[in-house]
Each structure stands twice: as structure tokens, then as C-alpha cells.
């Protein structure tokens, strides 16, 4: 879901000493939207975050959160934690895309949020909650919030 921000002809700069999110787009298997249907362990979800920052500051970092509809934080991913430095142009504009292949969430409703923070991920510049809702469908009878990768072995006897 686009966050109110720049259009193709108008790209506001961030105020001196700050950074801000200019656009967020969430997609499932290439289809963007604010309410997405996802097949557990089969759908790739991407979160694209565009930002504007004061070019005199260090380049900011981003993080993505996934919360269950009941408010429980299920997972997060951050550029700092993953050791991925972001890039931006001389005017302070940049973007980052997080890919979640074969999203392992189990059936239910989840909300995607994004955070733009300082280069170390400590000082938040801006947080946008619920940029998209993921409605996860699943085959099978697994219970819980996530489908953990696993393997079984069976043999005769004790």
C-alpha cells in the first residue's frame, strides 16, 4: 500500500537532520495491494520501502515487522541485523526491498509494518504500522503461526 508521499513529479526532501518513508509497496507473487491473499509456504511476499533522508546524515536502515491479527509479533527483519547497508543517491533518496520467499506463515490474518531508523537501527525516524494485511490460506492441518522446515524419519522396530 503506498504511503502518502511523492508522485512521479513531486519528490519531497527530508527535513534537515531527519529521514522519512516516502512509499511502501507490499506484493504477493508480484501482485501489489493492501489486502493480499497468501498461500502458506508457496507465496513470495516482497516489501519495497522508498525513503528520503538528509544526505548529510549516515544512510538510514529499515526493518519490516509481521504481526498476527491478535497483536503478537511473529517475525521481523532488519537491514542492520542482516548486515545489509542501504544505498541512496546524492539527494538522499533510496529504497530497499525485502523478499520473503515461500512465506512460512500458517492460516490467519497478519499485518505488515515498516520502520525507518538511524544507520544502527536504534533511533526511529518513522514507523508505519499495517501497511498491508496478509490473509494466509493453507493446505494441511498444521497448527500455530509458522510452518517450520522439518524432516521425518521412520523405520520398523524399536
- Strands 108-117 and 124-137: what pairing? antiparallel
Nearest to 107 by CA among 147, 77, 67, 64: 147
Looking at residue 158, its pLDDT comes to 81
Does residue 6 have a pLDDT over 70? no
pLDDT of 112-150, one tens digit each?
A: 999 999 999 999 999 999 999 999 999 999 999 999 999
Which residue shows C-alpha cell 529504497? 95
Whole-angstrom distance, CA of residue 44 vs CA of residue 96: 16
Q: Helix or strand or coil: residue 125? A: strand
Does residue 41 have a pLDDT over 80? yes
Whole-angstrom distance, CA of residue 146 vs CA of residue 140: 13
Q: Helix or strand or coil: residue 1? A: coil
**pTM for the whole thing?**
0.88
Whole-angstrom distance, CA of residue 16 vs CA of residue 112: 28
pLDDT classification of 7: cutoffs 50, 70, 90: very low
Amino acid at each position: 500500500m503506498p504511503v502518502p508521499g511523492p508522485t512521479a513529479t513531486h519528490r519531497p526532501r527530508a527535513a534537515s537532520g531527519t529521514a522519512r518513508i516516502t512509499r511502501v509497496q507490499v506484493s504477493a507473487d508480484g501482485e501489489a495491494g493492501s489486502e493480499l491473499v497468501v498461500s502458506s509456504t508457496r507465496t513470495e511476499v516482497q516489501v519495497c520501502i522508498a525513503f528520503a533522508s538528509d544526505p548529510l546524515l549516515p544512510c538510514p536502515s529499515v526493518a519490516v515487522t509481521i504481526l498476527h491479527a491478535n497483536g503478537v509479533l511473529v517475525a521481523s527483519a532488519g537491514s542492520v541485523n542482516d548486515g545489509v547497508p542501504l544505498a541512496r543517491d546524492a539527494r538522499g533518496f533510496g529504497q530497499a526491498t525485502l523478499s520473503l520467499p515461500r512465506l512460512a506463515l500458517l492460516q490467519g490474518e497478519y499485518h505488515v509494518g515498516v520502520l525507518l531508523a538511524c544507520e544502527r537501527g536504534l533511533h526511529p525516524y518513522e514507523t508505519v504500522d499495517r501497511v498491508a494485511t496478509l490473509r494466509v490460506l493453507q493446505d494441511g492441518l498444521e497448527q500455530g503461526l509458522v510452518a517450520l522446515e522439518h524432516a521425518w524419519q521412520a523405520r520398523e522396530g524399536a
